C-alpha cells in the first residue's frame, strides 16, 4: 500500500482482511447530542476481527479538554494491550463514514507509525458493499477496556507497564499548542484552517458544547470538514479537493495548521491534505474548545470581520 495515500477501500480491506499483519480498529465516536454509544454499537456489529479504539479513553486524563493527545508511553501501552505491533498495517474506520477515524490515523502518525490508513466510507460503506460483520460479547469488550484503562492510569502514575509491543517515535511538529497559535497571529507563518461549520465559524450558530461561544480565531480560514467528502462520506478525488481548498482561499504552497472544535474533525482536513501530498500537517489539539474558554483570547465573528 502507498503511504502517500491515506485511505483504503472496503473492497481492498475485504480482500486482505485475513492477512496476519492487518489490524483493524473501530474508532467510532459521536457528539453527545447524537445519543449514540459507539462501544455498544461495536458489540452489536463490527468488521470481523476489529478491535474497539476508545478515543476518549486513550487520551490525556490530566486535562479537562476532550480527548487530548496522551503521553507517548501511554499510547504505546494502550495499543500494545490492543495487540498492535510496529510491523502491523493498521486500518481504522468509524460508524459515520469518515468522521472520527482520521483522528486516530493522525494519532498513529504523530507517534511515528506510517503504516496506517482510514477505511474510505467507514462501516456504512462496508455494509453497503454487502460485506459481513460480527458481534462480540460484552465480557470480552469490558476485559480489554479495563486493561487499557489500567495501563494508561499506571503510566500517568509513573508505574512500569511492559513490555510494550509497540514502540513510538514522537513527531512534535505535528501538534500545536495555544502559544504557537498565538505566535502565529503575529508571525503568520502558517494558514490556520478551521474544520467547523461556517455557522459556528461565523458566530451565528451555537457550539455543541454548552457554555462555549461560537466564532473563530483571527486570521483563520473556514474549510468545513464536510467539504472533504461526497454524499456517501467517501474522500473526494484530488482534483475536487484542490478545488475546495482553492475556493476557501488556501494556498497549498504554504504551511498549514488545522483546527476544529476539539481536535477531531481537523484531522479530516489532514487526510484530505495528505491525499494532495501535504504530509504531516499539524493539528491545534486544544482547538476551539481551548481557545474560546481561556479568558482574553480574541474571538472574531461575522459581525467583527
Rg (CA), the chain: 19
Within a domain: residue 72?
Answer: yes
Catalytic residues: 260
For residues 144 and 176, membership in a common domain is answered with: no
For residues 117 and 252, membership in a common domain is answered with: no
Q: For 18-52, what is each residue's pLDDT tens digit?
A: 999 999 999 999 988 899 999 999 999 999 999 99
H-helix segments, 2-121 = 10-16, 38-44, 72-81, 101-110
What's the maximum distance between 2 C-alpha atoms anywhere in the chain? 56
Look-up of cell digits 504554504: 254
Length of the chain: 305
Do residues 83 and 52 make contact, with C-beta atoms less than 8 angstroms apart? no
Give the pLDDT band (50/70/90) at residue 4. confident
Side-chain-side CA neighbours of residue 193 (13 Å): 31
Structural domain range at position 121? 7-156
For residues 42 and 12, membership in a common domain is answered with: yes
Looking at the predicted structure, is the pLDDT value of residue 130 above 90? Answer: yes
Query: How many domains are there within the chain?
Result: 2
Contact partners, residue 141, CB within 8 Å, separation at least 6: 39, 42, 43, 52
Paired strand residues for 23: 90
Within a domain: residue 162?
Answer: no
For residues 60 and 92, membership in a common domain is answered with: yes
Average pLDDT for 205-214: 94
For residues 176 and 151, membership in a common domain is answered with: no
For the ranges 125-129, 139-143, 246-250, which has the lowest average pLDDT? 139-143
Helices (H) and strands (E) in the chain, counts: 11, 10
Within a domain: residue 303?
Answer: no
For residues 226 and 94, membership in a common domain is answered with: no
**C-alpha pair distances (Å), 202 with each of 87, 153, 160, 223, 248:** 44, 39, 47, 12, 14
Q: Measure the CA–CA gap between 8 and 47, rounded to whole angstroms.
A: 14
Within a domain: residue 189?
Answer: yes
Q: What is the pLDDT of residue 2?
A: 61
Average pLDDT for 122-147: 94
What's phi and psi for 264, nearest 5 deg? -90, -65
Within a domain: residue 15?
Answer: yes
H-helix segments, 36-117 = 38-44, 72-81, 101-110
Nearest to 110 by CA among 72, 79, 84: 72
Within a domain: residue 161?
Answer: no
Grid cell in block for residue 37: 454509544
For residues 127 and 234, membership in a common domain is answered with: no
CATH number at residue 232: 3.40.250.10
CB atoms within 10 A of CB 127: 15
For residues 177 and 141, membership in a common domain is answered with: no
CB atoms within 10 A of CB 239: 8
Q: Measure the CA–CA gap between 276 and 253, rounded to whole angstroms.
A: 11
For residues 207 and 121, membership in a common domain is answered with: no
Mean pLDDT estimate for the chain: 96
What's phi and psi for 224, nearest 5 deg? -55, 140
For residues 203 and 123, membership in a common domain is answered with: no
For residues 135 and 182, membership in a common domain is answered with: no
Within a domain: residue 94?
Answer: yes
For residues 60 and 132, membership in a common domain is answered with: yes
Look-up of cell digits 484552517: 193
Q: Report which secondary-structure segment, H or E, holds 61.
A: none
Looking at the predicted structure, is the pLDDT value of residue 244 above 80? Answer: yes
Amino acid at each position: 500500500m502507498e503511504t502517500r495515500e491515506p485511505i483504503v477501500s472496503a473492497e481492498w480491506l475485504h480482500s486482505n482482511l485475513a492477512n496476519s499483519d492487518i489490524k483493524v480498529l473501530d474508532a467510532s465516536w459521536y457528539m453527545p447530542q447524537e445519543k449514540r454509544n459507539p462501544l455498544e454499537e461495536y458489540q452489536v456489529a463490527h468488521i470481523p476481527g476489529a478491535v474497539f479504539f476508545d478515543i476518549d479513553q486513550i487520551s490525556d486524563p490530566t486535562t479537562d479538554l476532550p480527548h487530548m493527545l496522551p503521553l507517548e508511553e501511554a499510547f504505546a501501552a494502550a495499543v500494545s494491550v490492543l495487540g498492535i505491533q510496529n510491523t502491523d498495517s493498521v486500518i481504522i474506520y468509524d460508524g459515520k463514514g469518515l468522521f472520527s477515524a482520521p483522528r486516530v490515523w493522525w494519532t498513529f502518525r504523530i507517534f511515528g507509525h506510517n503504516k496506517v490508513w482510514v477505511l474510505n466510507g467507514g462501516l456504512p460503506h462496508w455494509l453497503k458493499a454487502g460485506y459481513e460483520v460480527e458481534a462480540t460479547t460484552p465480557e470480552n469488550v469490558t476485559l480489554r477496556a479495563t486493561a487499557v484503562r489500567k495501563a494508561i492510569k499506571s503510566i500517568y502514575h509513573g508505574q512500569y507497564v511492559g513490555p510494550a509491543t509497540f514502540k513510538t517515535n514522537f513527531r512534535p511538529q505535528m501538534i500545536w499548542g495555544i502559544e504557537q497559535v498565538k505566535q502565529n497571529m503575529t508571525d503568520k507563518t502558517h494558514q490556520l484552517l478551521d474544520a467547523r461549520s461556517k455557522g459556528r465559524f461565523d458566530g451565528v450558530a451555537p457550539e455543541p458544547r454548552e457554555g462555549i461561544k461560537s466564532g473563530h480565531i483571527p486570521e483563520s480560514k473556514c474549510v468545513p470538514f464536510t467539504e472533504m467528502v461526497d454524499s456517501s462520506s467517501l474522500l473526494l478525488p484530488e482534483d475536487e479537493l484542490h478545488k475546495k481548498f482553492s475556493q476557501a482561499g488556501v494556498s497549498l504552497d504554504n504551511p498549514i495548521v488545522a483546527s476544529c472544535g476539539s481536535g477531531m474533525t481537523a484531522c479530516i482536513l489532514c487526510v484530505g491534505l495528505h491525499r494532495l501530498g501535504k504530509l504531516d500537517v499539524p493539528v491545534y489539539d486544544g482547538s476551539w474548545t481551548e481557545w474560546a474558554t481561556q479568558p482574553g483570547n480574541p474571538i472574531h465573528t461575522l459581525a467583527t470581520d
